[in-house]
């Protein structure tokens, strides 16, 4: 049987200025008809670049492509323009990561699908093409498809848009579907639906699937074979069970060890709760944005307490109000209603000036390691900022303290005078943590502190936060969309939906015996590697230090 896809010694290089970056280097793999291959790797591993080569998308970009790519008997490398156009969409179709920007904002979704259909079925009338569009939209689960086909992309939700893109891919009955991070921009429950849909379609049409993703969990449940990439090369390639359960390569093992598991308990004992150690207390907290008819309530009637030295995890999907809540807790935002007490003192309505004494006690770590540091100031100066603002230490003492902090977060103390762009994402996040630690706070709100990081870096940063908390007796509020990450750090868990708390309690209790239907749905949707059932001894966290 001839394989559907056969890639031999593929290399892709981008000339940039005076040097050439080899994004893919000597990659070979094959896919049987109807098979499914997952290509996984961290950022910069070349996985998307390799996928783009399957449709000849590097042609004309200045990239140097070498080796051979065969898709369903077509030689993609040798095909002329017209032949390549027939392959694109007709033989192999691609689904992109960001469903909003991947569709023409000015055109009805149905028309866009119909247009693509007519390109590959030249004789078809407009009417027939439109009917085909409605048919495939219906197939991917868009309700009332014939009518919704006339809507434009911005009238669809994120999940619906991704369905529409998949419908476009289906329209011409391709033999291969290439999906590039198709669920990365989506919430976990929607992700589960989309992955389910891809599986169904594959079974129904017999088309092959190549799924490119950074998330091993996503790949685990959706593909037959797994290809692990690092620095443009294949590290390990084999049946998915073999790779996940008996990885041969050290890199694969490290990668797997770093993946947070939602069904594994935290290794540290929860902090014993005593009422007199309450730091922050929110009662009926509420925040509205906008005025009049356009008022949106982002957070509604939220009541929670944070005690000294404990970690409260806050999880929720996009739009659940978790970020707004986090910003209110450190009083970057003023609550519209409710009560917010810090050590018994009401800080809800305080003016900026009155808040100053509290600023050093309540700090924050941000999501984006790029935008959270001023690119024009050295990292030492950024960390020193709160110390200088306080004005209690002299210059030498400040520098000494910053050096100490840099060392504490695992960076070179001599990096004081270096600028943010000289650091990797994980290192920048460490700088952000050092800055938050500088004024010796009692509580740090971490807003998605690891979601922009690769999985191995993620594990390192999470471990650092855990250590700091134990050593310094910090209270943490850990906000994240990733339930597995939150489980690794939380003593207590708060689940938010639509601005409200739907469930809160001791972390293990909520994870193991969720009471609210929403929490149960959320937990069920988390992709699992499916290899460590029963190993509830916290190896995940320890493994990260390998």
Partner 1 sequence: MTDTLATPQPEAAAPASGARQVWRRLRTRRSALAAAAVLGLLVLLALGAPLLAALEGQDPVTYHDTLVDSARGGVPLGSFGGAGAEHWLGVEPGTGRDLFARLLYGARISLFVALGATVVQVLIGVAVGLAAALGNRLLDSVLSHLTDVMVAMPSLVFTIALFAVVPSDFPRPVLLIVVIGLLNWGSTARLVRAQTLGLKKLDYVTAARLTGGSPWRVARRELLPALAAPVITYAAILLPSNVVIEAGLSFLGVGIKPPTPSWGQMLSSATTWFRADPMYVLMPSLLLFVTVLAFTVLGDGVRAALDPREASRLRVGRAGRRKSAATSPEGGAA
Partner 2 sequence: MNGLAGYFLRRALGALAVVLVLSLVVYATFYIAPGDPARLACGPRCNPEQLRQVREQLSLGDPFYLQYWHFLQGLVAGHDYSTGTGVLHCTAPCFGQSYQSNQLVTDLLAERLPVTASLALGAMVLWLLLGIGTGLLSALRRGGATERVLTWLTLAGTATPVFITGLGLLMLFCVYLEWLPFPTYVPLADDPEQWAWNLALPWAALALLESAKYARLTRSSMLETLAEDHIRTFRAYGLTERAVVGRHALRGALPPVIALTAVDLGSMFGNAVLTETLFGLPGLGQLLVHATQTIDIPVVVAVVMVTGTAVVLANIVADVLYAVADRRVALR
Site string for partner 1, 17-56 (x = CB under 8 A): x---x------------------------------x----
Show contacts with partner 2 in window 137-156 (CB under 8 A). Answer: 152, 154
Burial of 545 (0-12, 13-18, 19+ CB in 10 A): exposed
Q: How many Å apart are CA 407 and CA 420, to the nearest integer?
A: 17
Q: Which is nearer to partner 1, 81 or 144 (CB)?
A: 81
292 binds partner 1 (CB under 8 A): no
First to last CA, the chain: 42
- Tell me if 415 contacts partner 1 by CB under 8 A: yes
Residues 65-104 that bind partner 2 (CB under 8 A): 84-90, 93-94, 96, 98, 101-104
Find the part of the chain contacting partner 1 (CB under 8 A) among 236-244, 335-343, 354-362, 396-404. 354-362
Rule CB under 8 A: say whether 168 interacts with partner 2: yes
> 488, 468, 470: which is closest to 478 by C-alpha?
488
Please state, in angstroms and rounded to a whole number, the distance separating the CA atoms of residues 79 and 86: 10
Q: In Å, what is the CA distance from 168 to each residue of 107, 139, 505, 511?
A: 14, 11, 44, 38
User: 494: part of which helix (H) or strand (E)?
Assistant: strand 492-497
Partner interacting with residue 545 (select from partner 2, partner 1, none; CB below 5-8 Å by kind): partner 1
Taking alpha carbons only, the member of 539, 536, 496 closest to residue 516 is 496
Pick what 168 binds: partner 1, partner 2, none; C-beta below 5 to 8 Å, kind-dependent: partner 2
Place of tokens 């391709």: 174
User: Which secondary structure element, helix H or strand E, spans residue 425, and what is its range?
Assistant: helix 425-437
Q: In what order do the strands lie in the sheet with 492-497?
A: 362-365, 443-447, 475-480, 311-315, 492-497, 500-506
The DSSP code sequence of 434-474 is HHHHTT--SEEEEESTTTTS-HHHHHHHHHHHHHHHHHHT-
Per CB under 8 A, contacts with partner 1 among 445-484 are 460
From the list partner 1, partner 2, none, partner contacted by residue 385 (C-beta under 5 to 8 A by kind): partner 1
Interaction between residue 374 and partner 2 (CB under 8 A): no
**Rounded-to-integer distance, Cα 297 and Cα 287, Å:** 6
Decide if residue 411 touches partner 1 (CB under 8 A): yes
**CA neighbor of 210 nearest in space, from 230, 225, 200, 220:** 225
Quick one: 202 or 428, whose CB is closer to partner 1?
428
Per partner kind, with CB cut-offs from 5 to 8 A, the member of partner 1, partner 2, none near residue 14 is: partner 1
CA distances from 468 to 408, 437, 443 (A): 9, 9, 12
62 binds partner 1 (CB under 8 A): yes
Q: What is the smallest separation between the CB atom of 116 and partner 1, expressed in angstroms?
A: 16
Give the shortest CB-425-to-partner 2 separation in angstroms: 23
- 104's CB contacts (< 8 A; 6+ apart) are 112, 153
The item of partner 1, partner 2, none sharing an interface with residue 527, based on CB under 5 to 8 Å by kind, is none
DSSP helix/strand/coil, 214? coil
Q: How many CB atoms lie within 10 A of CB 535?
A: 12
- CB of 2 or CB of 545, closer to partner 1: 545
Q: Is 347 in the site for partner 1 (CB under 8 A)?
A: no
Closer Cβ to partner 1, 270 or 410, answer by number? 410
Q: Is 121 a residue that touches partner 2 (CB under 8 A)?
A: no
Minimum Å gap between C-beta 420 and partner 1 is: 8
Binding residues for partner 2 (CB under 8 A): 55, 57, 84-90, 93-94, 96, 98, 101-107, 115-116, 119-120, 152, 154, 165, 168
Using CB under 8 A, list all residues that contact partner 1: 14, 16-17, 21, 52, 57-63, 330, 332, 352, 355-356, 359-360, 362-364, 366-368, 371-377, 382, 385-386, 388-390, 410-412, 415, 418-419, 421-424, 426-427, 430, 432, 435, 439, 460, 545
């Amino acid at each position: 049987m001839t394989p559907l896809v056969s890639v031999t010694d593929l290399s892709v290089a981008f000339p940039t200025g005076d040097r050439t970056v080899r994004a893919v280097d000597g990659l070979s793999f094959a896919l049987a008809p109807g098979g499914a291959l997952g290509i996984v790797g961290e950022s910069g591993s070349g996985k998307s670049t390799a996928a783009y080569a399957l449709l000849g998308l590097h042609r004309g970009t200045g990239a140097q492509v070498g080796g051979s790519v065969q898709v369903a008997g077509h030689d993609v490398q040798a095909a002329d323009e017209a032949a390549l156009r027939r392959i694109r969409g007709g033989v192999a179709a691609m689904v992109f990561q960001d469903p909003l920007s991947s569709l023409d904002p000015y055109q009805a979704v149905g028309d866009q699908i119909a247009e693509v259909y007519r390109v590959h079925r030249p004789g078809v009338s407009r009417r027939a093409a439109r009917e085909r569009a409605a048919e495939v939209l219906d197939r991917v689960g868009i309700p009332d498809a014939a009518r919704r086909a006339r809507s434009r992309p911005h009238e669809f939700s994120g999940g619906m848009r991704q369905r529409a893109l998949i419908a476009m891919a289906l329209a011409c009955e391709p033999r291969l579907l290439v999906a590039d991070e198709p669920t990365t921009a989506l919430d976990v429950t929607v992700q589960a639906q989309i992955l389910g849909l891809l599986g169904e379609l594959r079974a129904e049409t017999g088309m092959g699937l190549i799924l490119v993703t950074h998330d091993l969990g996503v790949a685990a449940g959706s593909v037959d074979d797994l290809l692990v990439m690092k620095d443009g090369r294949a590290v390990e390639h084999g049946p998915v069970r073999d790779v996940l359960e008996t990885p041969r390569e050290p890199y694969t093992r490290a990668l797997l060890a770093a993946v947070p598991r939602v069904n594994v308990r935290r290794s540290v004992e929860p902090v014993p709760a005593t009422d007199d150690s309450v730091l922050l207390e929110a009662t009926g907290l509420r925040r509205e944005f906008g005025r009049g008819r356009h008022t949106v309530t982002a957070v509604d009637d939220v009541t929670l307490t944070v005690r000294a030295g404990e970690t409260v995890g806050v999880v929720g999907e996009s739009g659940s109000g978790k970020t707004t809540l986090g910003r209110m807790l450190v009083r970057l935002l003023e609550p519209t209603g409710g009560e917010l007490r810090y050590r018994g003192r009401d800080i809800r309505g305080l003016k900026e000036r009155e808040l100053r004494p509290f600023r050093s006690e309540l700090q924050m770590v941000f999501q984006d390691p790029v935008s959270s540091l001023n690119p024009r100031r050295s990292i030492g100066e950024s960390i020193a900022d709160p110390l200088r603002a306080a004005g209690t230490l002299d210059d030498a003492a400040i520098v000494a303290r910053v050096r100490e902090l840099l060392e504490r977060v695992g960076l070179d103390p001599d990096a004081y005078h270096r600028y943010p762009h000289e650091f990797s994402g994980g290192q920048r996040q460490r700088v952000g943590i050092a800055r938050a630690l500088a004024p010796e706070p009692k509580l740090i709100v971490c807003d998605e502190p690891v979601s922009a990081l690769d999985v191995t870096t993620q594990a390192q940063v999470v471990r650092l936060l855990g250590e700091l908390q134990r050593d310094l007796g910090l209270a943490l509020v850990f906000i994240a969309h990733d339930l597995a990450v939150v489980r690794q750090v939380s003593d207590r868990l708060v689940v938010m939906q639509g601005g409200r708390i739907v469930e809160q309690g001791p972390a293990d209790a909520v994870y193991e015996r969720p009471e609210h239907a929403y929490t149960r749905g959320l937990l069920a949707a988390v992709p699992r590697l499916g290899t460590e059932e029963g190993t509830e001894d916290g190896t995940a966290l320890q493994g990260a230090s390998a």
